[in-house]
Structure 1
Amino acid sequence: MYNKEIRLVNMTRYVTPLREGGSLPAIVECDDGFDYVIKFRGAGQGVKALIAEFIGGEMARHLDLNMPELVFIHLVDTFSKSEGDEEIQDLLKFSEGLNLGMSYLSGAITYDPLVSIADPLAASKVVLLDSIITNIDRTHRNTNLLNWNKALWVIDHGASLYFHHSWDGWEEHAKRKFPMIKDHVLLAKATKLEEAKEFLKDKLTPEIIEGIVNLLPEDWLIDPSGEVSTDQKREVYKEFLNIRIKNIDVLTKEAKDAKG
């Protein structure tokens, strides 16, 4: 079982927006004295982006990849009243409640495939993880990787699990290949795909997937239409991921073929 506990912290200060993010993430300070990059529930893709971010990030951590700590950040509406920027003001107002935070890695630099560090096994793990979670946003245009303390760090999995934007046909989607892996920024350095595949098979058991999904906050899973219960959604996430993990041989071959 996945026994990790996710800390809950309270936002105490909005520091600065990160304008390069399409959903206006920001650096904030919390009551534990640390800074975090916060992803807001009131942003474009709403809580579904936070769910994808959380599941992808915790799977990465369980695969021994460098992943900043994820925390739940509680935000109260009072912050919007002191913000001058109307866009940020609205974002804060609509993000009251639980949001997702990631430890801020001060001094980290964006991964550059021409000069940055990427261990072959770590690169291979990231490629296969992204195939499993259908992460479309780890390309040369937008790497969503950092180098920090002379090591590769993975961040930002919010564009993953895109099946959940339409629940219809999720089983068929789970069985598909992932042709967009050909554009993955780490593919050229992923020279240990077979070793990574065996590692993933051993580590990503149904019990681990269940433990990660069960950590999702209940209110992130509430369907406003009432058509799908929170328990049903948890089961779909588990089944989707387990189907894709079972198909890891096919996904590995696809990544190998894409390497040429």
Structure 2
Amino acid sequence: MNNSVKLNEQTEIPSLGFGVYQVTDKNEAKQAVLDAIDQGYRLIDTAASYGNERAVGEAIKESNVAREDLLITSKLWVDDTGYEATRQAIKDSLQRLQLDYLDLFLIHQPYGDIFGSWHAMNEAKEAGLIKAIGVSNFSIAQITNLAEFSGIKPDVNQIEVNPFNQNTEAVEYLQNYGVKVEAWAPFAEGKNGLFTNDTLQKIADNQGKSIAQVVLRWIIQRGIVPVSKSIKPERMAQNIDVLDFELTDEEMAIITQLDTGESQFFSHEDPKMIIWMAHRTVEK
């Protein structure tokens, strides 16, 4: 199993990453990133809407790992969609992160003037401010619309993927279409009793691994890059230690049976959620 995934001619990312969603305390976020880098993570995932880009930037600056060995992702929030707003938002994210470039920049949600944003992001890529561009939470219809009408396919679509929402149709389509898939919430934030699930526990016992490790391995074997989160160094170490074993075809098939076909959080097609996001104020 390859330990990295090629996004484009100039960008290759590790096969699993570390995220800082919901780590809002500045000191906690900074320490989490420092610990993650110390544990061996090189793909760090943040977003303007997380409110912790500054803390992530400080950690990157203080780490003992060279910038070129780190793969840093951030995301554009909905209040910055549109050509001019996105141009400024990219500069703002770079300033908060204290970076000269981003390895990957994503449109966080499929709302607003995404075509204007996409145009600005492509210009930033050509200017060397961004190495790879993509989207997050786009349906297969939305990503096809963006790619076909702009003439430029996203390198990545970051979507919810976990044992209870496996997104099989979307993953298969995206991989065939030439778009790499990243998974947010690989553990479904512990919903549905994921960490005490009997089926997953049996597989974990058979492999001599934890349920979390089994889930991450299952995602990686599907050709998806999981982005996991923890503020505990021991959990970080456990989560990254998933490249020394493989699930059998039978175990992969057993996990498939856990799929409910529904988001464990909310539908991105729910008008109420779209209205909420359109009027949400975030402190960046």
The TM-score with structure 2 as length reference comes to: 0.27
The TM-score with structure 1 as length reference comes to: 0.28
Tell which has more relative contact order, 1 or 2 (C-alpha 8 A, sep 6+): 1
More helix by share: 2
